[in-house]
Every structure is written in structure tokens, then in C-alpha cells.
């Protein structure tokens, strides 16, 4: 069995963290024994969940924003655990892995799971230095490959595309559409929009609220469910009230029964400024709920507009409102898109396929390293 080290900055709620959990709990069947190295003490909820499955989780306390001591501690831990291959999971983890592997003690893999737009000149120089030293770079969406080549000079030959995987058992709902809508005071015959994610700036929720208020003002009897939490929740609730939306918007908080909400909604909407391949869009589509997303959401490989969902041409309140009104006004198109979305995701984006592709990449890297 090969020893695999998975390096990540935190194990809190998040799409990337969930993907690491899905991989770590399944990769042993592919001949790898995983250990997770968390570069902070923020390990809830996935740290305990991993340990419950018998997976070791090493924690490195964060003492500053960029703490070089963690890189040296990571290097010592990887050596003590006799790790054969390391994989840094997020872009901010890659530099620590690069420092920990100076001198080439083992091959390692970097990741770019989105297109970060806030990197200053110093951070970009660090990123370029990091990706030059990685044996391979994993991305989850083809637009990220373009970003890596254009912005950071990373050659395409070094990059491997492995889309996120969905555990379809997680999507099995336990409550009926009627029960969910009754709880959320949403009539059965009214269109319901669903957003789920962190309530932070990158999700661009003011755009969604503005667009939604415009269709409500035009007489569309729709409701919006906002699931998740974050630093902007209070200001978003204030904005909703100032737009006169009243009880048309339900802020549900974090929901453990999100698949039930997804199945009870008519359309999932995401307006993020920058994403890779969002798990929540995959899950919505896997539940048979089509999605409307903006171009920044990184769904170009996933969504075929008008067939299994929609990618908005322009991310303005006026344009998004027009898209919402047109989509909600065509029930047949919504039903067809939902059916096609479920078929596409279930055939191409299973968690089993993601784990198999990752294991194949790891074996190729190890074979090359040991041969050379």
C-alpha cells in the first residue's frame, strides 16, 4: 500500500473540504493509505468525521497569515509518516507543500480548484514558483486550465483535469416537496429559487437579491430560499428588507437536509464572481433541479444552456432578472432541463469516478518518480 498525504488549510464546511473527505474515505480501496495534514486548528466538522473512519489527521496550528514554521513542521511529519506521495488540496496550501518538498524527498501534486482574482503581485510570484515545482497540478474545470496557463505560466502538459464527484446516496431525500414548502411557507404552485453556500462577497448575493426583487415587482409570485451562513448574513437580510422583499426571501441558515430543499425547489441560482466547479451546482442538478449560473461560476464544462441548465450571458441585475423571468415562465423547459441535468450529472460526475481518476494519476506519478 502506498502512503498518501493530503494537505489542506482547514477542514471546516466547504466544497473542497468535502471532496477531500470523499477521496480520503475511499482511496484505500485503490491501494493508498491516506493521512490528512491540516494547516490550522479549524478541523470541524470533517476532522472528527475522518478520524471516526480511522483516518489519521495531523494538525498544525496557525500562528500567522503566512507561517513558514508550518512548512517545516509539515516536512518533518511527512517524513516521519514515510509518505510516498503528497497532494496539496487548495491553492493557499500549495506553497506550504512546495516548501516542504524542497530537495525532492517525494513527488507531490498541487491543486487549483478555482480562479482566484485577488492575488497581488507577490502572491502571483509565489504561485508561479510553486507550480513550477509541483510534479502535477490537478484542476476540476477546464477554464481553470486556461487561467493557470494565462496568469501563472503553468504549462498544460503538467495539468490534469479531474472533476468533482457527487455521492448520490447523500442526495436521497427524506422529506416530501410538500413538507419542505410547508416549513418554508412557500405555496406548492409558486416558483421557488434556491441558493446554498457561504454568505460571503465572492458569492455575489446582492446581484441575486436585486434581480429577484425586479421579477417580484413585475408580479412573478416567486420565493427565494437562501441556505448557508457567513459574515454577510446580517447585511444581506437588511438588503432584502430594503428591497421590499419581505417574506419572499427565506434565510434558512446552514441546512443538513439540503437535498430535500434542492428537490423541493424549481431552480438553483448561483452568481459567484469566481468558482471552480461548485459541488452545490452538481448536487442540485443531481437532484433534478436545473441551475442558472453566471459565467464566473466555472460551470462551462457542466451546463449546456437551454438543455440541462443556463449560463447567464451577462451578470447584471437587469439581465439576470430577464433570465429568471423567462426561465420560470416556461415550466416545460424547466422540467426538461431538470431531467437532463440529473441524467448528465449521474452519468459523468460520480464520486467513484473522481476517486478512480485520482488514484490513476497518483499511480502514474509514483511510477515515473520511482523509474527516474
CA dihedral 348, 352, 357, 359 (to 10 degrees): 180
DSSP per-residue letters across 75-100: HHHHHHTT-SEEEE-SHHHHHHHHHH
- Tell me the C-alpha distance between 132 and 159, whole Å: 11
The CA distances from residue 35 to 25, 51, 96, in Å, are 10, 10, 16
Q: If you search the block for the grid coordinates 442526495, which residue do you land on?
A: 171
Average pLDDT over residues 46-50: 98
Q: How distant, in Å, are the alpha carbons of 53, 158, 167, 180 from that of 57? A: 11, 29, 22, 37
What pLDDT, in 10s, does the model give residues 231-279?
A: 999 999 999 999 999 999 999 999 999 999 999 999 999 999 988 899 9
32 Cβ contact partners less than 8 Å away, ≥ 6 residues apart: 1, 2, 3, 4, 359, 362
66 phi and psi angles, rounded to 5 deg: -125, 100
Q: Domain map of the chain by residue range?
A: 2-165+350-371, 168-348
Q: Which fold has domain 168-348?
A: Rossmann fold (3.40.50)
Question: What are the phi and psi torsion angles at 58 (to 5°)?
Answer: -95, 135
249 and 212 Cβ atoms separated by less than 8 Å: yes
Strand partners, 33: 3
Which residue has 503538467 as its cell numbers?
158
Q: What is the pLDDT of residue 305?
A: 97
Reported as a single tens digit per residue, the pLDDT across 282-326 is 999 999 999 999 999 999 999 999 999 999 999 999 999 999 999
DSSP state of 244: T
For the whole model, what pTM was predicted?
0.92
Residues 6 or more apart in contact with residue 361 via CB below 8 angstroms? 109, 136, 138, 160, 162
Q: Tell me: the pLDDT tens digits for 169-220?
A: 989 888 999 999 999 999 999 999 999 999 999 999 999 999 999 999 999 9
pLDDT tens profile 123-147: 999 999 999 999 999 999 998 999 9
d(CA 322, CA 363): 49
How many residues are given for the chain?
372
Are 2-165+350-371 and 168-348 the same fold in CATH? Answer: yes
Question: Which fold does the domain 2-165+350-371 belong to in CATH?
Answer: Rossmann fold (3.40.50)
The rounded distance, in Å, linking the Cα atoms of 207 and 217 is 16
Amino acid at each position: 500500500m502506498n502512503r498518501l498525504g493530503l494537505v489542506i488549510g482547514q477542514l471546516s464546511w466547504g466544497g473542497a473540504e468535502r471532496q477531500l473527505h470523499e477521496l480520503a474515505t475511499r482511496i484505500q480501496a485503490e491501494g493508498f493509505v491516506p493521512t490528512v495534514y491540516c494547516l490550522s486548528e479549524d478541523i470541524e466538522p470533517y476532522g472528527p468525521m475522518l478520524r471516526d473512519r480511522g483516518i489519521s489527521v495531523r494538525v498544525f496550528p496557525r500562528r500567522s497569515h503566512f507561517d513558514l514554521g508550518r512548512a517545516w513542521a509539515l516536512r518533518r511529519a511527512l517524513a516521519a509518516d514515510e509518505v510516498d506521495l503528497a497532494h496539496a488540496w487548495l491553492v493557499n496550501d500549495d506553497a506550504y507543500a512546495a516548501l516542504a518538498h524542497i530537495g525532492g524527498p517525494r513527488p507531490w501534486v498541487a491543486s487549483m480548484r478555482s480562479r482566484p482574482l485577488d492575488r497581488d503581485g507577490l502572491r502571483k510570484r509565489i504561485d508561479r514558483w510553486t507550480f513550477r515545482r509541483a510534479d502535477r497540478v490537478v484542476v476540476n474545470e477546464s477554464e481553470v486550465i486556461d487561467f493557470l496557463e494565462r496568469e501563472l505560466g503553468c504549462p498544460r502538459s503538467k495539468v490534469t483535469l479531474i472533476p468533482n464527484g457527487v455521492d448520490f446516496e447523500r442526495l436521497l431525500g427524506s422529506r416530501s416537496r410538500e413538507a419542505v414548502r410547508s416549513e418554508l411557507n412557500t405555496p406548492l404552485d409558486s416558483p421557488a429559487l434556491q441558493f446554498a453556500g457561504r454568505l460571503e462577497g465572492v458569492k455575489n448575493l446582492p446581484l441575486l437579491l436585486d434581480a429577484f426583487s425586479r421579477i417580484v415587482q413585475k408580479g412573478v409570485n416567486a420565493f427565494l430560499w437562501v441556505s448557508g451562513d457567513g459574515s454577510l448574513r446580517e447585511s444581506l437580510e437588511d438588503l432584502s428588507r430594503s428591497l421590499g422583499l419581505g417574506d419572499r426571501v427565506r434565510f434558512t441558515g446552514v441546512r443538513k437536509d439540503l437535498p430535500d430543499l434542492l428537490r423541493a425547489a424549481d431552480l438553483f441560482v448561483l452568481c459567484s464572481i469566481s468558482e471552480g466547479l461548485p459541488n452545490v451546482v452538481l448536487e442540485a442538478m443531481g437532484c433534478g433541479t436545473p441551475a442558472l449560473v453566471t459565467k464566473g461560476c466555472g460551470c462551462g464544462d457542466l451546463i449546456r444552456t437551454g438543455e440541462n441548465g443556463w449560463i447567464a450571458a451577462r451578470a447584471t441585475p437587469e439581465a439576470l432578472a430577464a433570465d429568471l423571468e423567462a426561465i420560470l415562465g416556461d415550466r416545460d423547459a424547466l422540467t426538461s432541463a431538470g431531467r437532463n441535468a440529473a441524467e448528465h450529472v449521474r452519468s459523468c460526475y460520480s464520486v467513484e469516478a473522481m476517486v478512480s481518476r485520482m488514484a490513476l494519476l497518483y499511480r502514474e506519478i509514483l511510477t515515473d518518480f520511482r523509474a527516474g
